[in-house]
Structure formats: structure tokens, C-alpha cells
Structure 1
Amino acid sequence: MKKILIAEDIDARLDVYLAKELEIARNQIKKLFDSKKILVNNSNVKASYRLKEGDYLTILEGPEEINLEPINLNLEIIYEDNYIIVLNKPRGLLIHPSISNKSVSLVNHLIYHTKDLSNLGGEERPGIVHRLDQDTSGLIVIAKDNETHVNLVNQFKDRVVKKVYECICHKPFIEEKGKIDIPIERHQSYTKMAASPTGREALTYFKVLNQNENYAYLEVEIITGRTHQIRVHLSYINHPLVGDPLYGIKKDNEGQFLHAKELGLYHPKTNEFMTFKAKLPNYFINKLKELKI
């Protein structure tokens, strides 16, 4: 049995999501629905059901679970108490493994570091409340128990979590700051997202920190939390992230220069608003020097 708490608005049909998540064929997914092995919030639903943030999936039968090994990755812990851990994730590290990608992930370090982790995200995602893309570095919060997990998921859902990034993108801006208010939906390929008037609300604010005739160094705050939101929005306004292999320039594929530098949230036990910050990694600083921004 596999259980998954949907901690972000992924805007996808349930059957499409499961085919990718479980990495099995769509006809096998159909069999699971026909035999009523898929539950959403403890109820049977149609395969066409569109997932919402906060939905709780139960898969009564599916592929074999992934065996996770505790590994010390010497990750920087910004803050830890009995309820949460705030980590600075390095670029290139997966958040959690999948059937097709069993690379070492943040989860390997978490289960090495502590046994106190929530299990609402499923056995392969202990403690995981939200995600950063593999090539995005920076702050991520981990839940140590299920009550904390639900509290944090609701904070993300209610948009009270402050999420500030720094990034490097192509082309200079005319304006010093701006707002990108363009809906986002999942692309028909499922592997990427796309700006679309029929999508879900997505709101991004940006401020130019420095720029030259070819590149811009930005501070970006996202109000919503759509998948790949910053990458999609900046690409849509013709300022794709430097190094982005999915939304950027084709030959520019070393991995996006995107760093989650600030995370603000209400402590799940004390209700105190806490702000955490992570310094720019060296690879990012070196790129700024290389591009002379």
C-alpha cells in the first residue's frame, strides 16, 4: 500500500499523475481503478478526477516500494527543533527517488539524520512537505511529525509561506521591478508546464538586482506555488533562466541558476513567524563573475 499527500497544486488528472508517479502503463492504471484500488480522501473517484492541493491518495496495490538507505550527505542544516528541519539543498540533489531514478536523494540524508519524520507523503518521501527542482538550490522545510506536516501543507496552500529566490536570466530588463500574472497549466507532454489562459492562477514578483547588456540578476518572490513557476514565467516573458534545459535556450543546459534564498513560515507549534535565509552557493557567485553582472 502506498499513501501520498498532495502538497502542491499539480493541476493534473489522477490517472495521468499516477502513470508518471508509479511509472507504470496507463492500462495498468486502468486496472487499479477498475478494481477500486485507488482512493482519494478515502473515497473511490474516477480516473479523470483532477488533483487538488491537500488531497490524500491511497494506492492499495501497486509497484514494489523503493528501498532507502541512510546516507550522510553532510547537508547544511539552517534550523532544527522537535517539529521542523530547515535545510539548504545543494544543486543537483534529488528531493526523493523514483522507480526510474533511484539516485541518492535528500531523503537518504533525512533518514540518516533522524527517525522522526512525517509519513503522510508516502514511504519514499518521509518528512517531505514541498519540493525544489533537482537543479534548484536553497531552502526546504521538513516535517518531523504528521501534525506538523498537515500544518505546513496548509500554510503553503493558504499562501502564507514567504518564498524568495535569486536567479540569473537572459536579456536585460527595461523596468527595475515588475509582476508576472500569467496562469500556468501542465503541458500536454506532462513533462513540463506552460503559460496558458486556461491554467491555474500564478503570480510572480521580480526585482532587478543587477544587469548588463546580455543578462540580468533578479530577486524573485512567488505568491502561488505552481510547478516550475519561476522558470515558466521568465521564459514566457522572453527572459529564460540561464542554464535551464527545459524552458531555456537549447544549448544552454548546465542547469538553471535558481536559488531559494529565503523561506518564511509560521512555526507549527508556537505560531511564531520565522524567516530563514541561505547564502548564495559558490557556483552561483562564480557565474555572476563570469557573466560580469
Structure 2
Amino acid sequence: MSQSDNQVSLSAVTGSHHFGQRLDQVLADLFPEYSRSKLKTWILDGNVSVNGAVLTTPRQKMFGDEQIEIEARVEVQVSSQPQKIALDIVYEDDSILVINKPADLVVHPGAGNHDGTILNALLAHVPNIDTVPRAGIVHRLDKDTTGLMVVAKTLSAQTHLVDQLQNRVMSREYEALVMGTMVAGGEVDAPIGRHATKRTLMAVRETGKPAVTHYRVMEKFRAYTHLRLKLETGRTHQIRVHMAYIKHPLVGDPVYGGRPRLPRGASPEFVEALRGFNRQALHAVQLSLFHPETDEWMTWQAPLPDDMVHLIGQVREDTRQNPDFDL
């Protein structure tokens, strides 16, 4: 991990429309790539000067035509160690990194996973990303969920991406195999919060945060359905919780799905494929966002991983072998 801090040097001139506004409000307008809390901290720490004089009062009123200068350091934000872990990089430039996450890889260190994570890999791959909170990780995928993730390589890029997430601008689409035959698409609009008794799990709760998941049917089988889903919000375990809530849990989900329910007359090959699939059948297939520097709308796609392709193929064959089932 690099112990050096990043120097930030910014300058701008206030306009007539800033007359009467507070210093912190003016900085938020002039430097929108940085969070309001970060700008306020820089003011309080004496990193902001106006017409050559250091100001440490965020509420100081501006008049217009002032020369603003900021000289600050961005401190190291993470304490984990860099590790040489291969990343499947879909796209990379100076601002962002898009990766295709495999199964069985944790995004962020936590209980039972202190290293060997995507965060550790990012610290080795991107110099100075330790100055960006959470090493630039702005959204997560569960350990056994595969697919696309975007990482911010700079503090300003992270501010933009977090803003897109919070304002529901960033688009994230998934594919999943769920239990039961669904007749049509729809949406689940149900708040999600911590489970009342199992604190490591999430659940639909009236006191939870708003959560909306849209879904459409891609292919129906005699006991399962292949879905395309789009997140409107991004709560922890949202798709897994919502699908279980409407009685169509994800295949292979050991937490929210329960034991696999085998259809009558399933072939040995199908039984083996289903029981051998030891993760939730969920893949982040498409990611779209506005680039934080160019403002270009960009989209990336990641095809289904081999294990899901094989599983869906076996489900399709099981349906073919049971033609009396009415889809």
C-alpha cells in the first residue's frame, strides 16, 4: 500500500450569481466532482483561500469575482494490503474500471474474508487508489454473484458514480434462474431491511428502505423460469430477497431459496446439474452509466458464465423431455 498522499490543487473564480451564497455552497457549485462533506472538511482544515486569505468558516458569504484556491491532500482511505489477484477487465481508462466478477470472489474484506478480495486486487492494480474511499468500489455484488461492476479510480469519479447510483441513473441488469414457472413479467416494490432475528440476512419489512425490482420472462420451463431483471434501487441482497418474497427464489440460493425442489421425473443428468450448482443463479449481465469525465452514456455486457449456461441448458432439456407440461 502506498503511504503517500495525493495532492489536490484547484482554482476558480466566483461569478455574480454567487453573491450572498455561503463559501461551502459556492465550492459545491464550482467543484461538483467532490462531495460537500469533503469540501467542508477542506474549509475547516484551512485548505481553502479566497483572494489569497485562508478562510475556515463554511458559512462565510461570497460577493462574486473572488479567486478561490484549494490546496489539500487526499489521505489514504483503506488499510488493506495489495495482492496480485487476476481481474477480468472489461474496460479501463484513467477514471473508471469495469470488471466481470467471477463466482466465489468477495468484493470487500469482512468477517471471514480478510484478504483475497477484489479490493486487495484493486490496490495492486491501480496506483494511489487507496486514497479513494473503499478503493473506488461504489457498488457490490454478493460473493457468489457473477458479472459487471464499475470501480472509480479517482475521488472525483467516485463522487459522480455515487451520485448516479443515488439518483437511479446508473442502469444495472441481471439474468437469473428462479424456481417455479412465471407467466409474465412485472415488478416487486417492497421495502428491504435487516431481518428481525437473523441480523446477517435481509428481509422485506415495512420499516425497511424503498426497494424496486423490475423483471421480465426470457424463457419458461416446466419448473423454472429464466428472468431478466433491472434494479431501480440497490439494497443488499435485493434480487434474492424480492424473488423469494414473491415465492420464486433463485435456484441455488442457500440462504433465501431453501433446498432445491426437483420436478417429478427429472433425469439423473438434470438432478446432478441442479444439485451441483452451489451458488445463486444470478449474473450482472449489463451495466450502463454516464462516464464521470466525458459524460458519455456507456454500456457494457458480460455473457452468462459457463456454469449458468450449462444449468439452463439442462433445465431446457428437462422441459423438452417432458412435453406434456403446458407452458
Taking structure 1 as the reference length, the TM-score comes to 0.73
Q: What's the counterpart of residue 264 of structure 1? A: 288
Q: Give the one of 144, 168, 171 matched to 1:162.
A: 171
Q: Give the one of 94, 98, 101 matched to 2:106.
A: 94
Q: 1:84-130: CA deviations, max 9, x gaps? A: 00000001100022253224111232222221426342xxx312111
Q: CA deviation at 1:174?
A: 2.1
Q: Distance in 1 between matches of 2:130 and 2:298?
A: 21
Matches within 5 A, 1:103-252: 103-117=115-129, 119-121=131-133, 125-175=134-184, 177-188=185-196, 189-250=198-259
Q: Distance in 1 between matches of 2:297 and 2:135?
A: 24
Q: What's the counterpart of residue 85 of structure 2? A: 72
Unmatched tracts of structure 2, length 5 or more: 1-36, 41-77, 261-274, 318-327
RMSD: 2.0
* One-letter amino acid of the structure 1 residue matched with residue 116 of structure 2: V
SS across alignment from 2:176: strand
Q: Distance in 2 between matches of 1:271 and 1:217?
A: 34
Q: What's the counterpart of residue 19 of structure 1? A: none
**Cα separation, partners in 2 of 1:233 and 1:95, compared to 1, 3 Å:** same
SS across alignment from 2:258: coil
| Length, aligned pairs only | 227
**Which deviates the most, 136-145 or 107-116?**
107-116
Q: CA deviation at 1:249?
A: 1.4
Q: Distance in 2 between matches of 1:99 and 1:215?
A: 34
Larger of the two Rg values belongs to structure: 2
* One-letter amino acid of the structure 2 residue matched with residue 150 of structure 1: T
Q: CA deviation at 1:172?
A: 0.4
**Which deviates the most, 282-291 or 92-101?**
92-101
Unmatched tracts of structure 1, length 5 or more: 1-40, 44-64
Q: What's the counterpart of residue 9 of structure 1? A: none
Q: CA deviation at 1:67?
A: 4.4
Q: Distance in 2 between matches of 1:66 and 1:98?
A: 13
Q: Distance in 2 between matches of 1:198 and 1:107?
A: 32
Partners of 2:132 and 2:153 within 8 A in 1? no
Q: CA deviation at 1:69?
A: 3.5
Matches within 5 A, 1:51-66: none
Taking structure 2 as the reference length, the TM-score comes to 0.65
Q: Distance in 2 between matches of 1:111 and 1:196?
A: 37
Q: 1:139-170: CA deviations, max 9, x gaps? A: 00011111111111111011100010000110
Q: Distance in 2 between matches of 1:87 and 1:172?
A: 32
SS across alignment from 2:135: coil
Task: Name the % identity.
Answer: 40
